[in-house]
Amino acid sequence: MTEWARKIREGDARSLARAATGVENGDPQALEILRDLAPFAGHARVVGITGPPGAGKSTLVDALASHLRRQGKTLAIVAVDPSSRFTGGAILGDRIRMQQHHADPGIFIRSMATRGTTGGLARATADLAQLMDRAGKDFVLIETVGVGQDEVEIADLAQITVVVLVPGMGDDVQAIKAGILEIADIFVINKADQPGADRVERELQGMLSLAHGKMPPIIRTVATDGTGVEELVEMVGRPLPENVRKNRPQAGEAGGTACPTTEGPGRAGVAQAVPPAHLGFSPALEEAVAHPPHIDHLGIAVTALEAAVAFYQTLGLSVAHRETVATERVNVAMLPAGDARIELLEPSSPDSPISKFLDKRGPGLHHVALKVPDLAAAVERLRAAGARLLNEPRQGAGGHLYVFVHPASTGGVLLELIQESGH
């Protein structure tokens, strides 16, 4: 381990601040630090706190921080301002409010504003969260304002997302984007000292029951005097259900968008699975975890169907189905392989999409098809997460519903999602 990394592990705030700046700027030396600290990954609990402007997110984060410090926990606070809605004003405000913590080496505070694309912000935040985790912080609290896509991206790197609402939003609750509701693991109704808390809660419950039929926990707080904060601290610190959100990038590659993963505050007992309902993860996520997708088929683009079929027959597979799909101008041979299938695709005309694929990329893996129990829910979650869908769900030749997801969102391969039959 380098001297720099060692100092960070010893809790030297200045060394950590220097690494944080370096990581934000993509400085190779700082990224090297991330690699050095890789063995310590997976300790922190990463909590996203999002909600409309002025909801009291910073005040709440401040109160959470004080509470956690009293419990002897160390933490990092990352305040993300995804829009340029204020020219530094809000961030400065956060800084001043947090000043009481500034002398405390147990709290690391960093504000970040969007300079470029949304993806860039999410990435910088992810790297920073990863650094804080590896530095040994027990909690990483990420504050973002709920105005756009960013907070959905940021929520994706948090293990638990707290959505903050306030009384007096009235019909505005309706205006909260479904995507924001979707990402909530816990709802906070802050400013519960103000009239209208009952009404927001009722409206929220109404919306959630319409949308999902099931509900994440709702906690009322008064961030300015600490009411309800203890309950919130307790809830965000609970062990995570095993295998929830495990599909995020694994820590380990320096400078990657990986972030501290599943293990909660990193100690024994965390690995014990808690039923998802216990923590109240969003119902769609619980459903997805309970019934994960499975591979239906792998689509392979070939120039000569018969030669390819002959090859797979040599391996002992046989053709169960052949067809020419007129709309796609493609000859298809389906060869069952275990529970999944290999789908060989040969263009039947030069203007077939498969011809174009072959011209551009050559023969090879064309797409991966996953069967999902609830296509509509999967599509909704993908949209909320900002994935690029290529079409609205539509009916395929066999009558099944399907949708394609762009390789840019999937790790480089075209992904087909298919509705499992019986739904």
Ligand X SMILES: Nc1nc2c(ncn2[C@@H]2O[C@H](COP(=O)(O)OP(=O)(O)OP(=O)(O)O)[C@@H](O)[C@H]2O)c(=O)[nH]1
Candidates 186, 157, 179; CA nearest to 45 is: 157
What is the rounded CA–CA span in Å between residue 365 and residue 302? 9
Candidates 72, 64, 73, 138; CA nearest to 97 is: 64
Two tokens, residue 68: 């956690």
**The one segment of 88-96, 124-132, 323-331, 403-411 that binds Mg ion by CB under 5 A:** 88-96
Q: One symbol per residue from 215 to 234: x for binding ligand X (CB under 6 A), - otherwise; what is it? A: -------xxx----------
Task: Tell which one of 15, 50, 58, 161 touches Mg ion (CB under 5 A).
Answer: 58
> DSSP class of residue 419?
E
> DSSP class of residue 250?
P
Two tokens, residue 96: 């001043």
Total residues in contact with ligand X, by rule CB under 6 A: 17
Determine the Cα angle at 66 with ends 282 and 101, to 5°: 120
CB of 346 vs Mg ion, minimal distance in Å: 57
What is the rounded CA–CA span in Å between residue 262 and residue 274? 13
Task: Tell which one of 12, 24, 32, 193 touches ligand X (CB under 6 A).
Answer: 193
Q: State which of positions 13-52 bind ligand X (CB under 6 A).
A: none
Task: Tell which one of 58, 261, 282, 355 touches ligand X (CB under 6 A).
Answer: 58
What is the rounded CA–CA span in Å between residue 331 and residue 349? 9
Q: How many CA atoms lie within 13 A of 400 on its CB side?
A: 18
Q: Is 194 in the site for ligand X (CB under 6 A)?
A: yes
CB of 58 vs Mg ion, minimal distance in Å: 3
Residue 190 partner contact from Mg ion, ligand X, none using kind-dependent CB cut-offs of 5 to 8 Å: ligand X
Phi-psi region of 56 (alpha: psi -120 to 50; beta: other; left: phi over 0): left
Per the DSSP assignment, residues forming a β-bridge with 346 are: 331
Q: One symbol per residue from 96 to 125: x for binding Mg ion (CB under 5 A), - otherwise; what is it? A: ------------------------------
**The one segment of 53-61, 210-218, 298-306, 358-366 that binds ligand X by CB under 6 A:** 53-61
**The one segment of 16-24, 36-44, 185-193, 340-348 that binds ligand X by CB under 6 A:** 185-193
Residues within the interface to ligand X (CB under 6 A): 53-59, 90, 93, 145, 190-191, 193-194, 222-224
Q: Which residues of the shown chain bind Mg ion in the complex (CB under 5 A)? A: 57-58, 94
